[in-house]
Structure formats: C-alpha cells, structure tokens
A and B are shown apart, each in its own frame.
Chain A
Amino acid sequence: MEIFQIGVLLLDATLRTSTPLILAALAGIFSERSGTINLALEGMMLGGAFSAATIAFYTGNPWIGLLAAIATTIGLSLIHGFACITQRGNQVVSGMAINILMSGLTALVGIALFAQGGKTPALDKASRFQPITLPGAEAVRDVPILGPIYFELLSGHNVLVYIAFFAVPAAWWVMYRTRFGLRLRAVGENPGAVDTAGISVVLMRYRAVVCSGVLVGMSGAYLSTAQGASFLQDMTAGKGYIALAAMVFGKWRPFPALFACLLFGFLDAAATRLQGVILPGIGEVPVQLVQALPYVLTVILLAGFIGRATPPKALGRAYVKER
C-alpha cells in the first residue's frame, strides 16, 4: 500500500511537471510542421511567464495574466515569423536571439518594475490558478485503489493542466482532420505544392507560428501563475529545449510527443522524490545525478534510441519561388 501511495503521488507530480512541456511541445509541432524551426520556445515561455505573473499581480486575475502571456508570445512569434518567413533569415539564429533577448529583458523589466532582483512579487491565492476538485472526488476519496487514483491523481489540478491534456487530441484533430491542418502539414513538406494550389505559403506559415505562440504562452503562464506563485529569473531552466527534444522524440506528432513529455516529466518528478532517499544496495542517490537524469536521458534518446525521425522536408527553408 505504501508503494502504491508513492506511485500515485509520483504520477500526480508527473502530470504537473509535464504540463508546460506538453504545451510547449505542441507549440513546437505547430511551428515546425509548417516549416519554421522554433528554437525560441525557451525564450517565449520565459516571456509568457513574466507577462502572466506581472499582469496577474496588477489585476489580481490569473485569466487576464494568461491573456497577457498569450499576447506576449504571439508578439514574439510574429517577430520570429517576420525574421524567418518574410525576411527569410536564419531560423536558428532568430530563435536563439529571442531566447537571449527574453532572458535579459524579463529580468530587466522585472527589476525596473518591482526592484526585487528580477523576481515579480508573490501572487496571492486569487491571482493564481487554483486546484479544481473534480465532482465526487471527496466522496470516493476513501475507496481503495480507485479513490486515491481519482482524488489524488486526476482531481485537484489547476485548469491549465486539464487544458494541456485536452490540447493533445485537439491538436491532433486540427492537424489531421481539418483543412487548416492539411495545408499546414503540406506547407512544411513542400511549400511549392501549396503555392501552386493557389494558397499563400507566407500566410499559412504565419498562422502556424501564431498557433505556436498561443500554446507556448499558456505554458509560460502555467510556470508563474499556476505551478509557481511568481516569476523568477530564468525560471524555465531549459524546459523549452526539453519540449523541443520531446517534439523530436515524438517525431513531430502530438500523441507520441505527449508520451515523451510524460517521460521527461516523470523523470523530473522522480528526481525530486529521490532526493535523499537511500536505495537498497546503492545508498543515498546523489541529488545532482538524479537532477541530471532527464537531460542525460534526452541526450541518449536523441542520440540513438528514437530511430529514424524524419523532420518535415521543408523545415528550416524559407520559401522562394524558383525560376
């Protein structure tokens, strides 16, 4: 029973740690499936987190904070789009530039506004997304096995967690079952086919990066107004890159990417739980080693275990009409 309890709590933590990864990975999928490399996820997440925390602090309403985060990341996506799609610049350079810019800019504006060393003030309860108790959760709490699973694992998360998990089938449906998705996938594979079909390649790609912006904005807001209670300098700590890794690991498809995110989230949750635990035969696990695990695993998985991940064919290439 002890182990079962730990397992449930671990999975519960996994859901919470994987939520920002899922949203960001889906953001990456939208952008890259349309042919635009999006290394800027890290910086956009940071920008979203900062805007959400700041606006939620001033308005006392996390939803307005969320909208501000989304507005910020759409803006950043449009900048990235302008550089990559309109100006046909180097997409990796543009992405990295946004990451560096946002790392500095969030701290700068944070210090200017609040003078707390780049942090934003702690948010009170009303300014954050609160856990939602699903109907009947209290009632079944004491039922063996099912009770804990429903009460601990499924119930009691904030709304963004549910949105993230709902976003996966939604993204799949949009990608594979709608006209928009068909064109989006086509423009990332062969923009010439889209152009000759009489559809604007540029407009399609802008629409895709805007979708990407909406999703990554939610992921940023989650960090500072749902999981945390304020913005901290560089609080994303590489989550944007991990999300990109999950996207590649998931071969640019929503459901496989979800599982990759859950795996990375699980490792993260396990790392926290394993701190100071003495394992039989091994002894105390060094904290640093456990914390490094997700990254080590990412490298190993990306290096050899994912098989042939074929990226969208036109990924990274600006569209120029050929003579």
Chain B
Amino acid sequence: MHQMHGTGETGAVQPAIELRGIDKRFGAVHANKEIDLKVDKGTIHGIVGENGAGKSTLMSILYGFYQADGGTIHVDGKLCDIKGSEDAIAAGIGMVHQHFMLVETFSVLENVILGVEGGAVLRDGVDKARVELERLEREYSLDIDPDAIVGDLSVGLQQRVEILKALYRGAEILILDEPTGVLTPQEADHLFRILATLKEQGKTVVLITHKLREIMAATDNVSVMRQGAMVADRKTAQTSPEELSELMVGRRVLLRLEKGEANPAATVLHVNNLCVDNAQGVRKVKNASFTVRAGEIVGIAGVSGNGQSELLEALGGIRSASEGSVLLNDQDVTPGKGVDAAELRKRGVAHVPEDRHRMAMVTGFTAKEAAILGYEDDPAYNKGILLDWNAISKATANMMSEFDVRPDDPDLKAANFSGGNQQKLVLAREIMRDPELLLVGQPTRGVDIGAIEFIHKRIVAMRDAGKAVLLVSVELDEIMSLADRILVMCDGVIIGEVSAAEANERILGLMMAGVDPNQAKAAEGQA
C-alpha cells in the first residue's frame, strides 16, 4: 500500500533506496525501530532528528558498518544484502562521514584510490586514476590538486576529497552525515552548490543533519526521526521549520528565543592584549582585547580551532596567559600568576567548559559527585575532614529540580544521563553558585532541541539578573539568538565586533573567514 502510494505521488519508476522494516538494537537501546524509508532517484533527501534519534545508525546500516537485526534494503528496486562497506560500494552507495575517513599523510590521489587501486602495483592504476579524477573534478566543479597532501588542506577541501572518493567508486547514491558541522557558512553554501550539481547529474543525495535551515534550503524531501522511529515524511516545499522541529521533539518548540533588551551596567571583565600559547608554543590567541559588562551576553563566534577554546580556557584559569592582562571588577586576575581555576571560582567566575566529557565532569562519577566538582572544599559540603554526603545529596536534588535534570536521581552515574541532562547538571552546578561572570563554551553541543531551549533560557535569565556572560560557540544560530554583542575570531585574532542587531550569517561568515568587518558589512550592503 505504502509503496503504491509513493509511486503514484512521485511518478518515479524506482526509488534509489528503499528500506523496509529496518530494526536495530544495541543491548537495551532500541536504536532503529522498524524503519521504512524511500528515497527517490535524483533527489536530495534530508533526514533530520535530534542527537540519538538513530539517524547515524540507520545510515551506518545502509553503508554496511552495522548489520540490521531485521528488515531489508533495496537499491534501485533490487534486494541488497549489505554485509560490509564493500557491498555498499558495489551497490553504488558512497558515504561522507562526519569525521572524515582520510589518511592525512597521503596525497589526494592516494586517498581517492585507496581500496580501488586497479592493480597490485600502484603505477598501473595511478595514471588512469589521475585522468578519471580530473574528469570528475571538471564534471562536478570540485577543484582540488590531486597531489596535495590531505593533511595540509582546509576542512572544506578535505570534504571534497571525501566526495571525490565516493564518486570515483562509482557512487550513484551519496550519503552525507552532518556535513556542515565543521564548515563556515560560505563553505557550507559551496557544498550545497556541489550537491545541486550532483543532483543535476542524476545522483541521489541523502543529507543527514540537525540543522533545519539546511534542510529547508537544500532538500527536495525530508524524513524526520524521533527516538529511533521514522515519524514523518514530507516534501520540503510543503513543510516549515516549525513543523519539522515539532516532529523532531514531539511537542511545540520555540525556535527563536524570546528575550528582552539587554541593560548593560558596569564592566565586569576587562581583557587587555591577551596572548595565549598552546602546549607546542604556538600562539593561539593574539592580542585579544574586549570587555564584558554586567547584564549582557557577549558571544565569540568562529570556526572551531581559531583560538576560542584557548581564550576560554585562559579566562577560566586553566591555561596561562603569555602576555596581556585580565581584570575582573578592576582586580588583576591574569591567568597564570597565582591565579588558577580555583582562585577564579572563589572570585565569582563560573566556567562551563566546551568539552563536557573531558573537562566538565567525570563520567564515571555519580551525579552528586559530579555536582560538587570544583566546589568540593566548600564548607557546606564538608563535615570536618569528611564530605557531608547528606548535604551533597540535598544540594544535588535541589539542582536537579531547579534545572529539570532527568532522571532526578543523585546516585545515578553521570554517564547514564543523556547529553542534555549532563549539560543541565553542569550548568546547575555553575549557575547556582550565583557567579559574577559566567564563561560558557558550546553550551548545547550534543544536546537535544528541548534541552537547548531550556539551557538558552537559563543563560538569558543569568543576564537579566545582572550577571556578565561570555559565550563561545561554533553554532552561529546559537550565537545570534543569545548574544547581545558578537566578537568574531579568526586565526587567534578578534577580527571585529558586530551588534546582535546588525549580525547575520553572511557578515559573520565572512568575518570568520578573516575578512575585515567593514569590508564584510560593505559586501553585505551591496548584496
């Protein structure tokens, strides 16, 4: 029935991919529940869902990384038994993984031919491969030097190598898993142009993402997954971001954060010509100067790896400053000179680090242990030389109810909470100390939409309570909806500042690529 309905509606002969009743469990986790999916030939098909909805698992099954427990895969109408990646490749399926599967020390050409070398001795295949690669590059306008070493290429170019790899293997169906996570908006636009070219050439593209903007901009059809089940199929033209987010979460979600005007008061944080070096002695932050006032949220945008992390870690007291100074309420707190993370906490700086698992909590700890990390010498948590577990349990329960952490069990292992609930617990730990300054990095990385909404509201509430907030995020949407002022970093330098009112993706994207803010704004004016 379902099939007939599909065929009648699209008029297509055969769907490129059809999944019937795909089921997969990992122990107690039911990752994919009887999934049916149909992807029409020559279309761009989006799959959206929250983190952990089962999108990646489903695609890994299609690409032969995992075996489904039940169900069948049909490619071009033919039943396919996909036992490993080689079967998927043979069936014409190519995949661009979220974390690139490239050998960084190899050249582009070597990466492309790996696995399809065309003979036991490389020389036999390489010349043919070079010709074929040049043809593909022309056909899909994927400019790239075949002899460049992949490790030297930018992330955007590395992604092109991944696409070329799939095309070189004769892929008719290309799956992209969260392809824009590491790209600037301009690079992402370029990627979507490439995908459009692929579609024109008759290829089928499956795009997995959690960014609704990309779904709306690039796809023909979209399927929504929630908690391991496929909950809806829509034509992109006939749906809206609001409907999709509601389908993803299962209830209505506010996409645009509602917040009032900021009322900035006295300067809380004053950073002067701060320079920070990494462990290898490479200067990661170069002469950063800015202020954060009470009652405002200052956002730092930038492509991941441009010095934001080091800046945040320095301000949190984890990394020493090489040059420059930091003032907190006019007192010198330059990190490194007797000022460490513990000292900063005493002075009212709360820090939610970027990497939850590496820095913010110990996943092997119970929730109540995680909830006092960094504050374990607080007299309220101690009785003599022993920890006062009753008080700690009570405090943790309080944090959990205040921040809606589920399940609200202080004795549950931190690892057993979902990403969103872990993050809420970390935020509760830091925010409920009532700090003067909140440093927060990637507050919603790996967090589902429902929890994002909650976390954003709490950060705005901090601001409205007259606290200073410094936010570092690589998600432009997040920066634009939260921050009152936005600083953009590129290659360790603060390129410039944009107010929330004048910020948009284009300007920020240009600045993230290192374009002078005035030029960026001028370019915007012309466009």
Contacts and interface: CB of A to CB of B under 8 A. Distances in A.
B26 A182 contact: no
A141 interface: no
A3 interface: no
Contacts of A138: none
Contacts of A183: 114-115
A: contact size bracket: 20 to 34
B97 A196 contact: yes
A186 B103 contact: yes
Contacts of A196: 63, 65, 85, 95, 97, 101
Given A178-B121, A182-B114, A182-B117, A190 B85 contact: no
B110 A195 contact: no
Interface string B372-406: 00000000000000000000000000000000000
A179 B121 contact: yes
Contacts of A189: 103-106
Given A179-B120, A179-B121, A198-B85, A192 B101 contact: yes
A169 to B, nearest CB: 15
B407 to A, nearest CB: 23
A196 B66 CA distance: 12
B368 to A, nearest CB: 28
Nearest to B31: A323
A197 B122 CA distance: 16
B42 to A, nearest CB: 25
A178 B101 contact: no
A199 B120 CA distance: 14
Contacts, number: 78
Contacts of B111: 193
Contact of B122 (A178, A195, A198): A178
A194 interface: yes
B103 A190 contact: yes
Contacts of B101: 190, 192-193, 195-197
B505 interface: no
Choose among A177, A195, A321 the residue with the greatest number of B CB atoms under 10 Å from its CB: A195
B183 interface: no
B121 A177 contact: yes
Interface string B124-149: 01000000000000000000000000
A198 B102 contact: no
Contacts of A178: 120-122
B111 to A, nearest CB: 7
Interface in A270-323: 313, 321, 323
A179 B121 CA distance: 6
A201 to B, nearest CB: 11
Contacts of B120: 178-180
Contacts of A186: 103, 106, 114
B179 to A, nearest CB: 15
B236 interface: no
B411 interface: no
Contacts of A181: 122
A205 to B, nearest CB: 15
A128 interface: no
B108 to A, nearest CB: 13
Given A178-B121, A180-B120, A194 B104 contact: no
Given A179-B122, A181-B122, A193-B111, 9 more contacts: A177-B121, A186-B106, A190-B102, A192-B101, A195-B101, A196-B65, A196-B85, A198-B115, A199-B115
9 contacts: A178-B121, A179-B119, A182-B113, A189-B103, A192-B99, A193-B101, A197-B101, A198-B86, A313-B104
Interface of B: 26, 56-57, 63, 65-66, 84-89, 95, 97, 99, 101-106, 110-111, 113-117, 119-123, 125, 165
